[in-house]
Structure 1
Amino acid sequence: MSGFTWHGGRLAEARAAYGGEEWIDLSTGISPLTWPGIDDVSTDWRCLPDPRDLAEMEAAAAAHFGVDPDHVCTLPGSEMGLRLLGRMLDMPARWLVPSYRTHGEVFARGRPMVEGEEAPREAVALLLANPNNPDGRLIPPARLLEWLEGLEQAGGWLIVDEAYADAVPSCSLAGAVGDRRRLILLRSFGKFFGLAGVRLGFLVGPRAIVAAARRILGEWPVSTAAVAFGRAAYRDRAWIGDAIGLLEERAGLLDALLARHGLAARGECPLFRLVEVEDGSALFDRLARKAILTRPFEENRRWLRLGLPGGAAEWERLDRALADG
């Protein structure tokens, strides 16, 4: 189980352990609604990424986030931004749990915040995800801004991993980013647009932090294809609006499907749900034997996270697999 509890998307490992070819991957929380324009974007693989194209893509992303392009730095995936900040800030940290495993690895000095602990008012970096993973909880922006004020007074930073915020735009703190704020956001392209393999993300923060990150990453932080996909997708406002509505609708359908099988869903992020059962590892194994990959957790063996199925056939297979207990 150790590999499957580390992160999602280990289909080759699942096939080796359980057999089968036609797997349904519900382990990652990546949207099943893949942005359809990808097939219409042409890429010249012979050319290096053009700085002007990169700037246009950052402008399109910035408009989507609601910030000035000067506050946006392109990353080869948002996880790279997390690890980069650990080196750039070089200070003690606190991080909320449960959350991404990466959060506990980013800073050399620090500790997780215990349940019920108040937000720090000291010179530390407070790292959290909103929406959170794996439980899908949302922290109201007003509360985060209160935490930010306390951290700023002490010389600390608030770092918010908004990898899933495209699906819940009302939770984003992008409107609070500024040169006088000690606030840094990380955004992900692949989760909402269903294109995780593009490996595209963004750091959003004060221009001094953005400039420092750009110097470290260099002139070509991502591929020509990532630039082309990001530029076109972030400009597709109609699809983005439709996708947000459809994801909310499908999350409701997943809640209902799970409830029919006695499973109470937790979370407010429409891209995945967390269930708590007597033995999450056993449920993971039962679904895996039906070639359905989900996400178990080493830190809590009662948990299992499920992403959204794709087409009707995947919904029917999940329904049958849960019924076959």
Structure 2
Amino acid sequence: MLDHGGNLDDAVRRYGRPREAWLDLSTGINPHSYPVPALAADVWHRLPETDVLLLQAAEKYYGASPLLAVAGTQAAIQALPRLRGPSRVTVPSIAYAEHAHHWKQNGHTVRELPYAELASVVDDCDVMVVCNPNNPTGESVAPAILRDWAKRLAARGGWLIVDEAFGDVTPELSIAALTASAASAEFPGLIVLRSIGKFFGLAGLRLGFVAAEADLLARLRDMLGPWTVSGPAQQIGTAALTDTAWQSQMCDRLREEGARLHALLASHGIAANGCALYQYWPEKHAADFADRMARHGIWIRQFTHGVRLGLPPDEAGWQRLQHALADWQSSQGNA
């Protein structure tokens, strides 16, 4: 399996610091989780039929219909390559690595290109994957461009897969509504992935949605099998998706905190990019930076091409990060 953030047990084993002493910034998950409501007594007893209320809430929130509820978008990422014959697939060279991994595993020819070069190969592939905004770099593609790509791919029986897992705070980027029944005839190969885990801070729930034409969703549903989303996840997801007051307040809060993280990094000489939930930069000394942070009890996401930091959960975490960044900046000045 590929490495991912959230692997705090690795930090504990490597550095010998107890789990509760770590500040985990290794994911882009909202540290201010949606408050889980009380659950119905029978939710633990009954087999989890797909809740109509959940789908109605999701359709209203995402502006898309039909939708398929899945056990996190990872389930769809793993299954979709199995629904096509051998295809030429283009994915961003720096993006959520599970996309390229599973297309390769299922016998497809995968080409990985920078975001700036994706437009040049739309007519030379069968499937294109775009993360919008991108994890980890924060890069994005305008909806009008994605509409054009979707039409061109669909004309040849191709797919455009848009992973909007981090799209809640930038709804203006979403093209999920283009999968709605009224528009699906124009965009038959458009597939949009949405996640409850990131914005709502409920990654442990394992709940996401796939928006696409009905026939493709039926094939995906048959492949994934019955009872893929637990009853508790469905009840909590319904509450989160319908709580518009919480959503509005959290969007404002995350925009402010995302700007604060960007400014904090800049004040220590780091030119980063990202979205409201994380910041990334192509750090040349990524391993040294990660080690320096870890010695301050801060666990971050390290890549071969850079590093990514999520948001601290409280003021103590912000001060701790500021102190660690000052130490890093000092070490670089003395190097």
Instruction: Name the TM-score, length of structure 2 as normaliser.
Output: 0.89
**Unaligned regions of 5+ residues in structure 2, if any?**
329-335
Q: Provide closer, same or farther for how the CA distance between residues 65 and 324 of structure 1 changes in structure 2, counting only shifts above 3 A.
A: same
- Whether the 8 Å contact between 1:77 and 1:188 is mirrored in structure 2 is yes
Aligned residues: 314
The residue type equivalent to 2:322 in the other structure is D
Q: Provide closer, same or farther for how the CA distance between residues 224 and 264 of structure 1 changes in structure 2, counting only shifts above 3 A.
A: same
The residue type equivalent to 1:190 in the other structure is G
Question: Secondary structure at 2:51's aligned position in 1?
Answer: helix
Q: Give 1:122 shift.
A: 4.7
Residue 167 (structure 1) aligned with residue 169 (structure 2): yes
Could you say which residue in structure 1 is the equivalent of 2:332? none
Identity in percent: 36
Could you say which residue in structure 2 is the equivalent of 1:132? 134
**Unaligned regions of 5+ residues in structure 1, if any?**
none
- Whether the 8 Å contact between 1:32 and 1:310 is mirrored in structure 2 is yes
Could you say which residue in structure 1 is the equivalent of 2:146? 144
Q: Give 1:28 shift.
A: 0.9
Distance 1:204 1:285 in 2: 40
Could you say which residue in structure 2 is the equivalent of 1:199? 206
Distance 2:209 2:86 in 1: 22
Q: Identify which of 29, 45, 57 aligns with 1:47.
A: 45
Matches within 5 A, 1:113-262: 113-115=112-114, 116=117, 118-122=120-124, 124-177=126-179, 178-180=183-185, 181=187, 182-262=189-269
Could you say which residue in structure 2 is the equivalent of 1:81? 76
Q: Give 1:167 shift.
A: 2.1
Q: Give 1:39 shift.
A: 4.1
Residue 297 (structure 1) aligned with residue 303 (structure 2): yes
Instruction: Name the TM-score, length of structure 1 as normaliser.
Output: 0.92
Q: Provide closer, same or farther for how the CA distance between residues 186 and 158 of structure 1 changes in structure 2, counting only shifts above 3 A.
A: same
- Whether the 8 Å contact between 1:296 and 1:304 is mirrored in structure 2 is yes
The residue type equivalent to 1:84 in the other structure is A
Question: Secondary structure at 2:321's aligned position in 1?
Answer: helix
CA RMSD, 1 decimal: 1.7
Q: Give 1:24 shift.
A: 1.0
Question: Secondary structure at 1:165's aligned position in 2?
Answer: coil
Could you say which residue in structure 1 is the equivalent of 2:331? none
State the 4+ residue runs in structure 1 displaced beyond 6 angstroms: none
